[in-house]
Structure 1
Amino acid sequence: MASENITEFPIPPDYWERLVANAYEHDNRADLNILKEYDHPALGDFNRLHRLNLTHLFNNLVRIKAEIKHQKTTSSKQMELLRVTLHQYVEAIKDYRYLAELRKVPDSVGLQQRMALEGAFEELSAPYSESPERNAPYNTQYLTISTKTQSSDAVREFLRKVLPNVLSWSKDEREIRPHEYQHHGMPEIYSPFLNALARFLIGTAAGASLVVPMVIMIFQPSLNKSLITVSMAVLLFAFSLAFAFDAKNEVIVTATATYAAVLVVFVGTSSSSGSDSG
């Protein structure tokens, strides 16, 4: 297979100095006011480029396969090419899978990272300006390697939309996105107060989900009433877990089974107490 010519993108003489400056002067730049969670080098998704690379390697393997089948033989040179291409293909798959597992940064953080790079390397921010089609290579999804994740559920999302900005916005995000904050935009990061309120509401609802059915079954107790109450309570509990929280199937099954077991034990205990008193 013929070797392919690769044209290197022209590099300005001062590129290397600006590259070092961008890395070493990061802490001294006042314009990079980014949440500590995302204070790392910009990580681009470049999903289409990975697809391009994977498809190209796939096609190379297809060419080798077709040639071997047609020739009914191979050679040392071709086997070496096959080994290298297979290795590159597997590594490309690993890279693609790894990037797919990384979290996306909030849009505001990604925009700041992009603007910082475009300011540091202006020649790459809009290359081929003579072309009628806009070319903005820094326009990609930005990712984070941070393992810190914020709990996302229906309760927090509801509070994020209804709470006043002074309560739903964190201090750090106010400093990063002052324009959106002043114009009543929604935060991308939950504030400590919002998280605390969400935990309080979820905890209260969890307690009520046990207390309310028990109270209902205590007054004018009967077996039919208890069975209906337990059945409805379990259905509502499972429904809440499934639609309000992003929980795994096994977690939902375990929690619902535990909840049902507690209510059944209460019914059994109440029935025994009623029989003894009678």
Structure 2
Amino acid sequence: MAHIVDDKSEHCIPFILERIKSHRQQYEAKGETPPPFFVGLNGVQGAGKTTLVTTLASTLSSPPHSLPTVVLSIDDLYLPHTQQEALARSHSDNPLVQHRGQPSTHDVKLGTELFSALLNRQSHIKLPSYDKSAFSGRGDRRPENEWETVNTNGQQPVEVVVFEGWCVGFRALSDDEAEQKWKDAKAEYESKGDGYQGQLGKLQLEHVLFVNSKLREYDALTDQFGAFMHIDAEDAQYVYAWRLEQEAALRAAKGTGMTDEQVIKFVNGYYPAYELYTDVLRHGIFNGEKGSESPSLSRIDGPNAGDAGQIGPSASLQKVLQAAQPLVFYTILQKVDRTKPKKCVLNVATMQAVAVRAFQEQVIRAGTQIKDGKMPKDLAKVLRQYCGAVRDMDYMQEKANNGFDNDPFLLMSSKQIERDMMENHGLMQWVEQRQDLPVALDSKHPGLPGVGRTARIHAAQCQNRRIRRKLNMLSALAGGLALIVPMVIMKLVPGKICSLVTTCSFVFGFAVAIALLSDLRPNEILGVTAAYAAVLVVFVGTTSS
């Protein structure tokens, strides 16, 4: 049975705090009081939204943040049972509205009034509540006297509003886009038959367009978000197992709820929306100024916590990406015609440098948890991944010694197979359209761009070779002089005392020089010094005889 056990709050809380800080600074710079901050949270059914928002509310409301936080669910905006039944009867041929769930089954007017009241910090605001177990699982809105009240007298007004739900953030498609998605799904259904796993292709177009048109009303809620978080699913089919597990827990807790067959039928009614609107979430729900600031966080989950996947970049990693972006792909100009690229280079080492930084952030996050007395999950795995990434980076640095044209971690358009791959992915065409790519003069120039590679390594290699040549020449000169000078002295100044003093002095000086200027071990220094002394002793013996 699929089960979500991982804690997503460690990724979400820093993201929210950063957005709140930016939100407040924006208003305070104008001398205005910042209004409450609205956060949208989308996640497929059973993905752990309720668990996450409970942790978020508790953490944000407690010191050191102390931000009064309220959690609202789009589920609590469902139409009352009688209105839902009336909607179903008025569209009896549309399976999408025969039960709660799809856009058109929520009281958007109630939601906009609630958002407005919270935004204006009105007092004694009642938060609607919905009982999903009522009417054998078909649900009904609770009486108003059971609704929670916020912003009461003596209570700090709400500063953060977290609005969660399975369709929160969905944006309506144009009629043409919706029709095209439906046609594609219809064609897949007709070709695969029973092998078709979706639901969209089984519907009539007018039913899809009805829900899509109703979704446009929800923009009044979505447009209030200052930040948005999306818990995606690696495979949308996981929603069936997650929802079955969720309903089983509800039956165990309250003694009533939907059967497994009812759950599957229930999810079937939701599933077309995942097929229609998930791409909208993945591409980002914000437009204009908000969109340029990218106030979104995404996470992809597999069937269990062990399959947790991609996480949107933090602010620090975003800086790393911005620094790496112009360095991961660049051109080298021809020597003859400097206006035309000789080759295009994809720098894999730059990509690895980004990966190392990403793992560093995970290590720092784990260290923070240990500091707070918590045991990080998968600590050994995080450290193993980080060490592996560093080792791989060292290996890439080593391979750079093969030379620019033979470096396996520089993929070049001058090599036919690599060029074909680049063309298949549109990179060559992209280069032709871009005028702002970094350009190097040629493969030998020390100005080649790259992160910890190419330019710096090539320049260092050239400099190291020059230094090594100079050191070799100096070593040869010093070695020759170490033998010639004492021999000349002993030849010009004959006598045993002179020979003894000269030999001892030069042997001692030679030993000290070797010890200071080399990395030899003590026994190796002793052996080299003994060999040098032996040469001088032999010379003394031959000259005195």
| Smaller-chain TM-score bracket | 0.3 to 0.5
Structure with the bigger RCO (C-alpha within 8 Å, sep 6+) is 1
**What TM-score, normalized to structure 2?**
0.24
Larger-gyration structure (1/2): 2
**What TM-score, normalized to structure 1?**
0.41
